[in-house]
A and B are shown apart, each in its own frame.
Chain A
Amino acid sequence: AQKVTQAQTEISVVEKEDVTLDCVYETRDTTYYLFWYKQPPSGELVFLIRRNSFDEQNEISGRYSWNFQKSTSSFNFTITASQVVDSAVYFCALSEAEGNNRLAFGKGNQVVVIP
């Protein structure tokens, strides 16, 4: 069974600080996808990034970057130079098997950016 753990519940940072969110996953599959979604107070889940299990290259997209390490089953996410608009709940999610749209979510990280 797939499982996603986000240990931190609430993280407060001062604007312009960086914030890193930890995600650890469990899966028996060798092929899987990992995602980060953002949920602002409005409730809609907004897709941020995805990574497949074959590509451990870490990338930067604007103020977002991620660190995928298969050896430790971790998929951490960093927001650089945080802004007040980044205040939201961030979810890490795992999908196993090609064509399987069943996402397993972590409990989420509430990020509060203080102006």
Chain B
Amino acid sequence: KAGVTQTPRYLIKTRGQQVTLSCSPISGHRSVSWYQQTPGQGLQFLFEYFSETQRNKGNFPGRFSGRQFSNSRSEMNVSTLELGDSALYLCASSSVRPGRWETQYFGPGTRLLVL
């Protein structure tokens, strides 16, 4: 089975611009979560999507948004980029079964640099 894929892998933007990152989950996985990793704050949960609906949201400003498509692929968008948005953005997918806890599997990440 192919793993979680993320595109692009690297991105350079300037302050004020917006960016869209894409994540394709493992086949059959319907839950997609996004995390931000920075040296200062570590790994922080952004949001989770399941069946095209946002199910959980972390403590990030409204500039960070996401969506999920019917094929479970997900995109996250950051508008009005700030220098502090420079980070590794990781996407994770998992299956969802009632009454069970499923492990999240991560993609390689997108490294975003904001200049």
Interface residues of A (CB under 8 A from B): 33, 35, 37, 42-47, 50, 52, 91, 95, 98-108
Task: Count chain A CB atoms within 10 A of each CB in B45, B94, B105, B106 and give the residue with the most.
Answer: B106
With A43-B109, A45-B92, A102-B48 known, 17 other A-B pairs at CB within 8 A are A35-B103, A37-B106, A43-B90, A44-B90, A45-B90, A46-B106, A47-B104, A98-B99, A98-B101, A101-B33, A101-B102, A102-B33, A102-B45, A103-B43, A103-B104, A105-B43, A108-B43
Quick check: B109 and A44 within 8 Å, CB to CB? yes
Chain B contact-residue range equals 20 to 34
A102-B60 Cα distance, complex, nearest whole Å: 14
Taken together as a complex, chains A and B put the C-alpha atoms of A98 and B105 apart, in Å, by 17
| Complex Cα gap A43–B92 (Å) | 13
Asked if B115 is an interface residue, CB under 8 A from chain A, the answer is: no
Contacts of B103 in A (CB 8 A): 35, 47, 50
Contacts of A101 in B (CB 8 A): 31, 33, 48, 55-56, 92, 94, 102, 104
Specify which of B42, B94, B98, B111 is in contact with A105 (CB 8 Å cutoff).
Answer: B42
B3 and chain A: residue at smallest CB distance: A44
Q: Give 24 CB contacts A-B under 8 Å.
A: A35-B103, A43-B90, A43-B108, A43-B111, A44-B90, A44-B107, A44-B108, A45-B90, A45-B92, A46-B106, A47-B106, A50-B103, A52-B101, A95-B101, A98-B101, A101-B31, A101-B92, A102-B33, A103-B35, A103-B92, A104-B45, A105-B43, A107-B42, A108-B42
